[in-house]
Amino acid sequence: MGGEWQLASSISEAWRFRGLHTAQAHPVGAFARPDWIPARVPGSVHADLIRAGLIADPNFGLASLEAEWVSARQWVYRRTFCLELSPSPRLHLCFEGADHGGEVYLNGEWLGSLAGTHTPVRLEVSGLDPDREHLLVVILPEPPAEAGQLGRTSQTQTLKPRAGYWWDFGARLVHVGLWRGVSLQADAGTALLDIWPRVTLAPDLNSAKVEVRAQLEGNAAVPVTFDLIHPDGRTETQTAVQTGEGQSSSFDLPDPQLWWPAQLGAQPLYTLRASVPGDSPQERRFGVRQVALIHNAESSARGARPYTLEVNGQPLYLRGFNLAPTDLIPGRDGMPDRERVLVTYALAAHANLLRVNGVGPVASRAILDACDEGGLLIWQEMPLTSSGTDNVPPHNPAFLAHLERDLPALVRHLRCHPCVVLLGGGNELTDERRVPVTGAEPTLQRMAQIVDTLDGTRPWLPSSPSGPEYDLSLEVAVNRPHDLHDVHGPWHYRGTDSYALHSVNRALAHTEFGCQAAPREATLHRYLTAGPLWPVDDRNPQVVHHGEWWLMHHRIEEVFGPVDDLSLYVLLTQAVQGDVLRHALLRNRARQGECSVSLVWQLNEPWPNAHNTSLIDYDLKPKLAYSRCREANAPTALDLGLAAPVADEHLILRPQVLAEVAGTGQLTLTLHTVSGMSLFHETRPLIWPAAPRSLTLTLPDQPALLRAELYSGAGTHLLARTEHWVARAQPQPFAALAQLPRTSLTAEQRGGQLSVHNSGAVAAPWVSVEAPAGATELFSDNGFALLPGETRELEVSLQTVAGAAWSGELTVRSVNADPVEVIWAEAVGGEQLRGQA
CATH number, residue 687: 2.60.40.2550
In a shared domain, residues 125 and 161: yes
- Predicted pLDDT at 241: 76
Q: CA 546 to CA 71: how far, in whole Å?
A: 20
β-sheet bridge partners, residue 209: 200, 252
- Is 8 exposed, middle or buried (CB count within 10 Å of its CB: 0-12, 13-18, 19+)? buried
607/589 Cα distance (integer angstroms): 31
Of the candidates 55, 65, 62, the one whose C-alpha atom is nearest the C-alpha of residue 528 is 62
User: In this predicted model, what pLDDT tens digit does every residue of 732-790 receive, in sequence order?
Assistant: 999 999 999 999 999 999 999 999 999 999 999 999 999 999 999 999 999 999 999 99
- What is the pLDDT, as a whole number, of residue 218? 87
Q: Which of these three, 286, 313, 336, is where a domain ends?
A: 286
Asked if residue 491 has pLDDT above 50, the reply is yes
With respect to residue 835, please indicate whether it lies within any of the assigned structural domains: no
- What are the DSSP calls for 132-167, one per residue? S-EEEEEEEPPPP----SSEEGGG-------GGG-B
| 3-state class percentages of the chain: helix first, strand second, coil last, to nearest 5 | 20, 35, 45
Kindly state whether residue 794 falls inside one of the protein's structural domains: yes
Report the pLDDT value the prediction gives residue 836, as an integer from 0 to 100.
36
Q: Report the CATH number that the domain containing residue 255 is assigned in CATH.
A: 2.60.40.10
Confidence bin at 247 (pLDDT 50/70/90): very low
Are 644 and 700 contained in the same domain? yes
Whose CA is closest to 717, among 775, 780, 666, 673? Answer: 666
462 and 608 within one domain? yes
Mean pLDDT of the chain, nearest integer = 94
pLDDT average, residue stretch 323-342: 96
Q: Check pLDDT > 70 for residue 502.
A: yes
Are residues 351 and 224 part of one domain? no
Closest CA to 420 of 521, 527, 515, 311: 311
Q: Which residues of 608-645 are buried (b: 16+ CB within 10 A; e: fewer)?
A: bbbbbbbbbbbbbbbbbbbbbbbbbbbeebbbbbbbbb
Average pLDDT over every residue of 88-98 = 93
Q: Is residue 736 included in any domain, yes or no?
A: no
Confidence of residue 220 (pLDDT cuts 50, 70, 90): low
For residues 622 and 693, state if they share a domain. no
- By C-alpha distance, which of 274, 269, 214 is closest to 238? 274
DSSP β-ladder status, 509-513 and 486-488: parallel
For residue 197, whether the previous peptide bond is cis, meaning omega lies within 30 degrees of 0, is: no
pLDDT in tens, 51-77: 999 999 999 999 999 999 999 999 999
The backbone region for 572, taken as left when phi is positive above 0, alpha when psi lies in -120 to 50, beta otherwise, is alpha
Please return the burial class of 727, using the count of CB atoms within 10 Å of its CB with bins 0-12, 13-18 and 19+.
Answer: buried
What does the alpha-carbon distance between residue 350 and residue 626 come to, in Å, rounded to a whole number?
A: 11
Three-state helix/strand/coil letters over 83-135: CCCCCCCEEEEEECCCECCEEEEECCEEEEEECCCCCCEEEECCCCCCCCCEE
Residues pairing with 124 in the sheet: 92
Radius of gyration of the chain (CA): 28
Tell which wins on pLDDT, 86 or 335.
335
Residue 834 in this model has a pLDDT that exceeds 60:
no
CA distance 112 to 833: 47
Torsion angle (degrees, nearest 10) of CA 250, 255, 261, 266? -120
Measure the CA–CA gap between 187 and 128, rounded to whole angstroms.
Answer: 14
Cis amide prior to 449 (ω within 30 degrees): no
> Same structural domain for residues 537 and 455?
yes
How far is 573 from 516, CA to CA, in rounded Å?
A: 8
263-320 tens-digit pLDDT = 999 999 999 999 999 999 999 999 999 999 999 999 999 999 999 999 999 999 999 9
Residue 798 to residues 517, 519, 723, 728, Cα–Cα distance (Å): 24, 19, 25, 39
486 located within any domain: yes
What region, left, alpha or beta, does residue 761 occupy, with left being phi > 0 and alpha being psi -120 to 50 degrees?
A: alpha
Q: How far apart are CA 164 and CA 467, in angstroms?
A: 28
Does residue 210 form part of some domain? yes
Q: What is the mean pLDDT of residues 545-569?
A: 98
Comparing C-alpha atoms, which of 491, 567, 483 is closest to residue 533?
567
Is 60 exceeded by the pLDDT of residue 244? Answer: no
The SS3 call for residue 6 is strand
376 lies in a domain?
A: yes
Q: Do 265 and 406 fall within a single domain? A: no
Range with the poorest average pLDDT among 212-221, 585-594, 720-729? 212-221
Range of the domain at 154: 3-186
Q: What is the CATH number of the domain that holds 395?
A: 3.20.20.80
Over residues 383-396, the mean pLDDT reads 95
The Cα-based distances of 108 to 16, 19, 122 in angstroms read: 11, 9, 18
| Single residue among 665, 695, 726 that ends a domain in this structure | 726
Mean pLDDT across 338-349:
98
Q: Is residue 565 located within the same domain as residue 644?
A: no
Q: Verify that 699 and 555 share a domain, yes or no.
A: no
In which order are the strands placed within the sheet that holds 90-95? Answer: 121-124, 90-95, 182-187
> What integer pLDDT is reported at residue 94 of this predicted model?
96
Q: What pLDDT was estimated at residue 243? A: 53
Query: Is residue 681 reached through a cis peptide bond, with omega within 30 degrees of 0 on the bond before it?
Result: no
pLDDT value of position 33: 76
Q: Same structural domain for residues 389 and 450?
A: yes
- Cβ neighbors of 361 (< 8 A, separation 6 or more) are 117, 118, 161, 163, 325, 330, 383
- Predicted pLDDT of residue 27: 79
Q: How far apart are CA 582 and CA 578, in angstroms?
A: 6
pLDDT at 837 exceeding the cut of 60 = no
C-beta of residue 139 within 8 angstroms of C-beta of residue 105: yes
Q: What single-letter DSSP state applies at residue 470?
A: S
Phi and psi angles of residue 297, each rounded to the nearest 5 degrees, phi first: -60, -35
User: What would the mean pLDDT of 386-397 be, rounded to a whole number?
Assistant: 95
Handedness of CA 394, 397, 399, 400 (dihedral sign): positive
Query: Do the domain assignments include residue 599?
Result: yes
Q: Please tell me the predicted confidence (pLDDT) of residue 827.
A: 63
Strand positions, DSSP E, 500-612? 509-513, 597-601
Helices 624-633 + 566-590 axis angle, to 10: 20
Residue 312 confidence (pLDDT): 98
Cα separation, 745 vs 791, in Å, equals 10
Q: Find the CATH number of the domain harbouring 61.
A: 2.60.120.260
- According to DSSP, the residues that pair with 815 across neighbouring strands are none
Q: Of 616, 634, 652, which closes a domain?
A: 634
- Whether pLDDT at 321 is above 70: yes
> Is residue 31 very low, low, confident or very high in pLDDT (cuts 50, 70, 90)?
confident
Q: 803 pLDDT exceeds 60?
A: yes
- Residue 829 domain flag: no
Above 80 in pLDDT, residue 30? no
CB-based contacts of 139: which residues, under 8 Å, 6+ apart?
10, 15, 21, 74, 75, 76, 77, 102, 103, 104, 105
Cα gap 704→737, rounded to integer Å: 9
> Number of C-alpha atoms within 13 angstroms, CB side, residue 44?
20
Amino acid at site 672: H
For the stretch 674-711, pLDDT in tens is 999 999 999 999 999 999 999 999 999 999 999 999 99
Q: 537 and 562 in contact (C-beta within 8 Å)?
A: no
Task: Please state, in angstroms and rounded to a whole number, the distance separating the CA atoms of residues 288 and 490.
Answer: 37
Domain count, the chain: 5
* Residue 1 near residue 104 (C-beta atoms within 8 A): no
- The torsion defined by the Cα of 176, 181, 182 and 187, in degrees rounded to 10, comes to -150
Give the type of residue at 366. Answer: A
| Same-domain status, 18 and 126 | yes
Contact partners, residue 545, CB within 8 Å, separation at least 6: 62, 64, 65, 171
433 and 495 co-located in one domain: yes
Residue-wise pLDDT tens digits, 429-463: 999 999 999 999 999 999 999 999 999 999 999 99
